[in-house]
Structure 1
Amino acid sequence: MISLPTLATLADDLTKGRTTARKLVEECLARIADSNGEGQRTFIHVDRDAALAAADAMDILRKANAAPSRFAGIPLSVKDLFDITGQVTRAGSRALDDSAPAEVDAPVVARLRRAGFVVIGRTNMTEFAYSGIGINPHYGTPKGAWNRSVGHVPGGSSSGAAVSVVDGMAHGALGTDTGGSCRIPAAYNGIVGFKPTQRRIPLDGGVPLSTTLDSYGPLARSVTCCAVLDAVLANEPIIPLQARPIRGMRLAVPTTVALDELDGTVARTFDRAMDTLSRQGASIVRIEVPEFLDVGIIGAKGGFAAAESFAWHRFLITSKGDIYDSRVSARILRGEAITAADYIEMLNARRSLIARTAARLAPYDALVMPTAANTPPRIADLAEDDKAFAAANILSLRNCTLINMIDGCAISLPAHREGEVPVGLMLAAAGGADRRIFELAAGMEDLIRV
């Protein structure tokens, strides 16, 4: 892994004339094109000419003191799930190859452009965002940052998003998160991923997986980087982030579900981080959260993802089902058996779950748990073994899904030390506590890896 700058560092360099937007874009394009790198598997489409033109425009505006923000000219990647004017949105699939190009940008893409960020290309993903692993049989699977000579999964579904950031092919990424799709790739690649409260950011202009659970969020190299991108996506002012001191933090570790079947490395890394936070003065309490047991019950027939994805795919999968990744189509087709009564029952159960969990978490600043119960598996071990894939997928998604189901917000921070297997630590809270989560995460992100 190369040492790469944060958005704040890049913004300072641009402001002080130490670099230009064009140079930043050219450097990212060179990394994408490197035949020894992961660029060909990380990007489905690279918008070279448009990115260079946008960079030149930002350089001109900056010289005229008219840059739309201090971050203008910094290249970002966009997950293939989002509409970009003039481009086909394939969502990591071949089934949408003949779709018409988008007529307008998705609102989140438009907001990034208005802030002056340069869209460098569309990143690879799990087909139709339907797994936490990141394997894609259509466009290849980018290798995660850990132990490239072996080849470990990048995490999904925002697989290319994470790899683009960790390899310097972009300096931030737009992803999605339905059951962990920003946080899992962040955890597997040693970067930061944020899942916002769903209602804060518009979902228009993206191919849905589950309209109930989908949210759009950033992946980047630091908590502050993610906070900047989150503010832009939510159309909120970019306010300097004030890190909370660790002393006095009230953190709850849920012993229900979230600590079950942890990989030994994950458990050791998490325990070490908790010891560090405790020594620094955080109050850490292990609590039962029996509401989390309801998540598995609600999703027993496939849950919202199966029901809502089947509603969106039912005609496409009838005509082009043979094109789909079989692991994806099988999960979508579970939704065919979910009745209207089943769906209404799920909605009612989730409404109750959200209210009961919010009440239980109210005394604490945040929940803290491992982002994923497992470390990134080897691609070769899952490529042809459906049983191994299913087991790994469940473990990767489980903890993150708890937060989507309670309509919460969450961030994944790298908790491993340099040279260790990547492990993510997740801070989460009930919906609406996004700023608090950022402040808490900023206070601990450097210390938990000591």
Structure 2
Amino acid sequence: MQSLAKLSHSLSTGQLRARELVEQALQRIADPNGEGSRAFMTVAAAAARAQADEIDRMRAAGEALPAFAGIPLAIKDLFDVAGEVTCAGSRILANEPPALRDAPVIARLRAAGFIFIGRNTMTEFAFSGLGLNPHYGTPASPFDRATRRLPGGSTSGGAVAVADGMAAASLGTDTGGSCRIPAAFCGIVGFKPTAHRVPRDGVIPLAHSLDSIGPLANSVACCATLDAILRGVTPRPLADVSIREVRLLLPSSLVLNDMDEQVAASFEHAIGELARADIAVSREPLRELLRIPEINSRGGIATAEAYAWHRPLLERYRDQYDPRVANRILKARDLTDNDVREMHDARAEVIEAIERATQGVDALVLPTTPIIPPPMSAFEVDADYMRLNALVLRNPSLANFLDGCAISLPVHRQGAAPVGLMLIGRRGHDARLLAIARTIEAVLNRARI
């Protein structure tokens, strides 16, 4: 689909009707040869058509409408929508009562005029970077569909929905890469804001210290627009950034380990393009990053906080969980309160050390994931699942641990395996990161043809 700005213009000028846009999305979802049945848990076809018809009627009558009225948006199955059950990709919550009210972010998107086309599949309870879901199905990455490769997680269905034109954008969450990994695996843009930037009420948590809410879309500008709406402010054009002002740091510690050939080639080509465009990219060890795997060696903050929330459910319904998800959560059952405090204290120390070490740097630049989407057949053995899950989470989870903002941009050439380039900015410097990302996106898009 086109950008949100172009769709908004086409709708407001009468070049496009909301019903036409909704029908296009629904046709793609219903395509028997597509991934719609696996990318969506529920599809709100009747409601979407009715809303589109009302928007078209109001627009024809000259009535005032929100800027994005009529644009179809997909929602990860973690968000409360009034009258709907929030299952979090699990069978365990399927019989819970429907939500009484919209989550604040849902209410804001609704007020902006978006049409909710359906609820996306996801990794159960958002606890994996791979995107597998044995309960509702796993949609395949757009790349090499014949092989059926993983979409990335946990916002798996949302990324596939955007990549395949089933929605103009999707709403996701990101605790360790859950917006950016699927964006990288599906060749789109995924943004993780500083955690406190967007309210998380009405959203099933994974780890309250790390959770953030972000969009997946076709461009940086689309993500910036949605981020503004999610924060409850009017979207504004991103600031212009001079290329010669941008200072990036490529860490040589940790983040370049275990890259496959496709990622290495596409990423290094992208770094070369940035250098040719006069964007300063320095390479330094940044050894402070090496402390993070050590701190997380017993499961980490995410696992500890997930276990605290899931413990009563696991006691009653453990046999109904995806075993791979349950086993990850249960790694924290032997952690003490003191263990968790020590992890939080160590995290604060690392954040302070990284901030000192990166003074004068706008953002870290690194591969979003060190590998391209693996085939789904690669997970017949649990040990392979754990190894590959840890590998794809390694780089993007750094941004969550550092309480920063981050974005993944596609950098592969057309038709090649999808590869994401990630920028990690300082906490609270989201506007600066988005502006830089748009500048870099323009440079990289010229090199991707």
Measured against the shorter chain, the TM-score band is: over 0.9
1:399 and 2:383 equivalent?
no
Q: Which amino acid aligns with 1:163?
A: V
**Offset, 1:304:** 1.4
Residues 195-274 of structure 1: pairs in structure 2 closer than 5 A: 195-274=192-271
Note the alpha carbon deviations across 1:382-430, whole angstroms, 9 max, x for none: 2x22122112111111000111000000000001010110000001111
Distance in 1 of aligned mates of 2:49 and 2:335: 48
Residues 25-424 of structure 1: pairs in structure 2 closer than 5 A: 25-382=22-379, 384-424=380-420
Distance in 2 of aligned mates of 1:227 and 1:395: 28
3-state SS, counterpart of residue 137 of structure 1? coil
Note the alpha carbon deviations across 1:292-344, whole angstroms, 9 max, x for none: 11211221111111111111111111111101000000011112111100011
3-state SS, counterpart of residue 256 of structure 1? coil
Distance in 1 of aligned mates of 2:106 and 2:295: 33
3-state SS, counterpart of residue 247 of structure 1? helix
3-state SS, counterpart of residue 348 of structure 1? helix
3-state SS, counterpart of residue 446 of structure 1? helix
The alignment's TM-score, normalised by the length of structure 1, stands at 0.97
Distance in 2 of aligned mates of 1:243 and 1:194: 19
Distance in 1 of aligned mates of 2:385 and 2:268: 27
3-state SS, counterpart of residue 298 of structure 2? coil
**Which residue is 2:425 aligned to?**
429
Q: Which amino acid aligns with 1:361?
A: T
What percentage of residue pairs aligned between the two structures are identical?
50
Runs (5+) with no aligned partner, structure 2: none
**Offset, 1:63:** 3.4
Which stretch has the larger CA shift, 60-69 or 48-57? 60-69
Instruction: Answer whether contact 2:277 2:443 (CA < 8 A) is retained.
Output: no
Distance in 1 of aligned mates of 2:339 and 2:55: 51
**Offset, 1:68:** 4.2
CA spacing shift, 1:59–1:67, aligned 2, 3 Å: farther
**Offset, 1:351:** 1.5
Distance in 1 of aligned mates of 2:202 and 2:143: 33
Distance in 1 of aligned mates of 2:86 and 2:175: 18
Distance in 2 of aligned mates of 1:364 and 1:259: 19
3-state SS, counterpart of residue 278 of structure 1? helix
Q: Which amino acid aligns with 1:109?
A: I
**Offset, 1:243:** 4.2
**Offset, 1:241:** 1.8
Instruction: Answer whether contact 1:68 1:114 (CA < 8 A) is retained.
Output: no
**Offset, 1:347:** 1.3
Distance in 1 of aligned mates of 2:52 and 2:343: 47
Q: Which amino acid aligns with 2:247?
A: R
Note the alpha carbon deviations across 1:138-172, whole angstroms, 9 max, x for none: 01110111010111000000000000001111100
3-state SS, counterpart of residue 286 of structure 1? strand
Instruction: Answer whether contact 1:77 1:174 (CA < 8 A) is retained.
Output: yes
Instruction: Answer whether contact 1:361 1:430 (CA < 8 A) is retained.
Output: no
3-state SS, counterpart of residue 333 of structure 2? helix
RMSD of aligned residue pairs (Cα, Å): 1.2
In the comparison of the two structures, how many residue pairs are matched?
446
CA spacing shift, 1:195–1:66, aligned 2, 3 Å: farther
Instruction: Answer whether contact 2:143 2:186 (CA < 8 A) is retained.
Output: yes
Q: Which amino acid aligns with 1:100?
A: P
Q: Which amino acid aligns with 2:257?
A: D
**Offset, 1:61:** 3.5
Runs (5+) with no aligned partner, structure 1: none
Distance in 2 of aligned mates of 1:84 and 1:292: 38
Distance in 2 of aligned mates of 1:307 and 1:167: 36
Distance in 2 of aligned mates of 1:208 and 1:399: 22
Instruction: Answer whether contact 1:361 1:429 (CA < 8 A) is retained.
Output: no
CA spacing shift, 1:67–1:184, aligned 2, 3 Å: farther
Distance in 2 of aligned mates of 1:289 and 1:404: 17
The alignment's TM-score, normalised by the length of structure 2, stands at 0.97
Distance in 2 of aligned mates of 1:252 and 1:298: 23
3-state SS, counterpart of residue 423 of structure 2? strand
Instruction: Answer whether contact 1:191 1:414 (CA < 8 A) is retained.
Output: yes
Note the alpha carbon deviations across 1:47-95, whole angstroms, 9 max, x for none: 1122122222322333354444321110000000111111111100111
Distance in 2 of aligned mates of 1:340 and 1:238: 42
Distance in 2 of aligned mates of 1:395 and 1:312: 25
**Offset, 1:441:** 1.0
Distance in 2 of aligned mates of 1:222 and 1:361: 27
Residues 3-14 of structure 1: pairs in structure 2 closer than 5 A: 4-14=1-11
